[in-house]
A and B are shown apart, each in its own frame.
Chain A
Amino acid sequence: MSQHPTTYVPKSAFGKWFESRLPIAGLIHSSFIAFPVPRNLNYFWTFGAILVFMLVSQIVTGVFLAMYYTPNASLAFQSVEHIMRDVNYGWLIRYLHANGASMFFVAVYIHIFRGLYYGSYKAPREILWILGVIIYGLMMATAFMGYVLPWGQMSFWGATVITNILAAIPVVGDTIQSLLWGGYSVGNPTLNRFFSIHYLLPFMIFGVVLLHIWALHVPGQNNPTGVPIKSGKDAVPFTPYATIKDIFATVVFMILFAWFVFYIPNYLGHADNYVPANPSVTPAHIVPEWYFLPFYAILRAIPDKLGGVIAMFAAIAVLAFLPWLDTSKVRSTNYRPLYKQFFWILVADTLLLGWLGAKPPEGWYVIVSQIATAYYFIHFLIILPLLGFIERPLPLPNSIIDSVMGVKGGAGLPTGANAEPHSKG
């Protein structure tokens, strides 16, 4: 696991007996108590903990919803209304779960953009990054199937549109579609198997998250300078510093979460999903949930059916190749003045794509979507590889402690425990 010898010694006789048989206390100690954390991390590094909290929250609220929900096409919509109206605090558990999904994606997008800005995907964290892309893909599958379960108009037609997309895949497309549908169209068999898989996937996400944290703990965290830990002065022990910071950030995040749940619980949703599914009438304006909008815009930008599908999946898949597409030797964008501008243009581009995804595919929206889609791929496939060669980065600080001291203007050594590094980053 970690490469340093464990410093943990159990205090009690029972502790010693247990530890010699299953060294889990030592593992927790070395991973989350003594673990050296760069002392210059900002709050963007708290989103990993926030994401773990959101995963647990979704699983707990989801397990309780499953006690009251009926996954049958003729009963599902009614069972959700039963939860909202009859089940004690059912409305709260439902709103926590629905808004929790949105909060999960808010956190994951901030977490991803943190990685993009600070070069957290670069060697030796390539596998860590790819595991993250896998988690993101599983999250999207889970969220998509979860949205089908209330069996409203958007549930049904979203399911129809996305499963029709899969039919565009040559050779195997029709078979995959038929296996997903369980019939000749989206119907009760589809709903039942989506419920089963929706219950399953979060536990798979949990497993990949464990791998993700394990992969992180080999090199340790990146930091805003991109310069790895070189000595004990650069780091602080995880507990109490990162623990309390993560808890604090999670509480602030919960306030945002609570704002949605208690004041505007339907703001991020779509009114059409309060209309029971009707296979003979498609709503005038089908949109997926907000977190899918950029990819929806990319899908619609390509006029060819298969081309749109390929572009949509490629937009996600390109992320996995980031460690190799970015040729710069410098990790952190703080020291890459040219890339910094392109980074913010990418942020603007993805926000634009998101906004366009909610618009009807008419008029000037179409050409702008195509330009924004093209730019997205140009950023990853052309700009990023070229910049590594062209750009002249700013000089890096010698170490983390140096960068921290420099900011403070030489005002004495910062207090707080130091933590010896356990491996080179």
Chain B
Amino acid sequence: MLESQVAETTSTVVEPTRRDFLFIATGAAAAVGAATVVWPFIQSMTPDAATVAAGAPVEVDLSPIAEGQIVKVFWRGKLIFIRNRTPAEIKAAEDVNVASLRDPQPDSARVKPGHAQWLIVYGNCTHLGCVPLGHQGAYEGWFCPCHGSVFDTSGRVRGGPAPINLPIPPYTFTSDTKIVIGQEATA
């Protein structure tokens, strides 16, 4: 005590006091405490265990789907179209000048090798999210009645305000007639 008092009167630099240390230490402890309290509340808003469990991959049996038919399934709350394409639809999708597309993508990049017959895309228009109508529009792919977007038989945008093609969800073939949506090809 006496030493620091002497130091304060003779030194030209103001020494930090015990009080300064206590203020800073308490402030730091309070900040850590506040963060510790806030963290669980924010975390509670992240998807809970039941939702995560319900978001597991789903298996779909393709054998009952007739040629030309479009089937709707849900995965993680999002709509997915499964389209069993006719040879004419596959040919129309492949015979396209890719460079002329708004969102250039060859049809081969949108299907699994050896399974060109099956087109699997998310079922919401990439403009503002309406569900487009199958077998409609100039290319007989999909037509969105909300604002007039047009998609071809590969799900690529060909007209209207949609900016990008219907996205492809992660999926893999576990056999010729079964797919698992939500899982990329592993072993």
Contact = CB atoms under 8 A, between A and B. Distances in A.
Partners in one complex: yes
Interface of A: 60, 64, 67-68, 82, 85-90, 92-93
Contacts of B43: 88-89
A93 B50 contact: no
Contacts of B48: 68, 82, 86-88, 90
Contact of A64 (B44, B46, B49): B44
Contact of B41 (A82, A85, A86, A93): A93
Contact of B49 (A86, A92, A93): A86
Interface residues of B, number: 10
Contacts of A89: 40-41, 43-44
6 contacts: A64-B45, A86-B48, A86-B49, A89-B41, A89-B43, A93-B44
Nearest to A60: B41
Contacts of B44: 64, 67-68, 87-90, 93
Interface string B39-65: 011011110111100000000000000
> Which 5 pairs, one residue from A and one from B, show the smallest C-beta to C-beta distance?
A89-B40, A86-B50, A86-B48, A86-B49, A87-B48
A190 B44 CA distance: 28
Which of B41, B45, B49 is the most central at the interface, judged by chain A CB atoms within 10 Å of its CB? B41
Instruction: Classify the secondary structure of B's interface with A.
Output: helix
Interface in B87-140: none
B69 to A, nearest CB: 37
Interface string B143-160: 000000000000000000
A144 B41 CA distance: 25
Which of A68, A82, A87, A90 is the most central at the interface, judged by chain B CB atoms within 10 Å of its CB? A87
Nearest to A254: B33
Contacts of A92: 40
Nearest to B45: A67
A210 to B, nearest CB: 24
A60 B44 CA distance: 13
A93 B38 CA distance: 11
A93 B45 CA distance: 12
Nearest to A96: B40
Contacts of A90: 44, 48
A319 B85 CA distance: 81
Contact of B40 (A67, A68, A82, A93): A93
A64 B48 CA distance: 14
A64 B50 contact: no
A82 B41 CA distance: 16
Contacts of A86: 48-51
Contacts of A60: 41
Contacts of B46: 88
Nearest to B52: A86
Contacts of A64: 41, 44-45
B45 A82 contact: no
Nearest to A87: B48
Nearest to B29: A251
Which of B44, B48, B50 is the most central at the interface, judged by chain A CB atoms within 10 Å of its CB? B44
A168 to B, nearest CB: 42
A87 B46 CA distance: 8
A70 to B, nearest CB: 13
A68 B46 CA distance: 12
B171 to A, nearest CB: 27
Contacts of B50: 82, 86
Contacts of B49: 85-88
A68 B51 CA distance: 12
A86 B49 CA distance: 5
Which of A64, A67, A89, A93 is the most central at the interface, judged by chain B CB atoms within 10 Å of its CB? A89
B172 to A, nearest CB: 28
Contacts of A68: 44, 48
A68 B49 CA distance: 13
Nearest to B30: A247
A124 to B, nearest CB: 37
Given A64-B41, A89-B43, A90-B44, 19 more contacts: A64-B44, A64-B45, A67-B45, A68-B48, A82-B48, A82-B50, A85-B49, A86-B50, A86-B51, A87-B44, A87-B48, A88-B40, A88-B44, A88-B46, A88-B49, A89-B40, A89-B41, A89-B44, A90-B48
B137 to A, nearest CB: 41
B107 to A, nearest CB: 42
Interface string B13-46: 0000000000000000000000000001101111
A387 to B, nearest CB: 46
Contacts of A88: 40, 43-44, 46, 48-49
A85 B44 CA distance: 12
B142 to A, nearest CB: 36
A82 to B, nearest CB: 7
A60 B42 CA distance: 12
Nearest to B41: A64
B52 to A, nearest CB: 9
A252 to B, nearest CB: 14
Nearest to A57: B37
A88 B43 CA distance: 6
A82 B54 CA distance: 14
A240 to B, nearest CB: 10
B38 to A, nearest CB: 10
A43 to B, nearest CB: 19
A408 B48 CA distance: 59
A353 B81 CA distance: 68
A90 B46 CA distance: 11
A88 B51 CA distance: 11
Interface string B53-83: 0000000000000000000000000000000
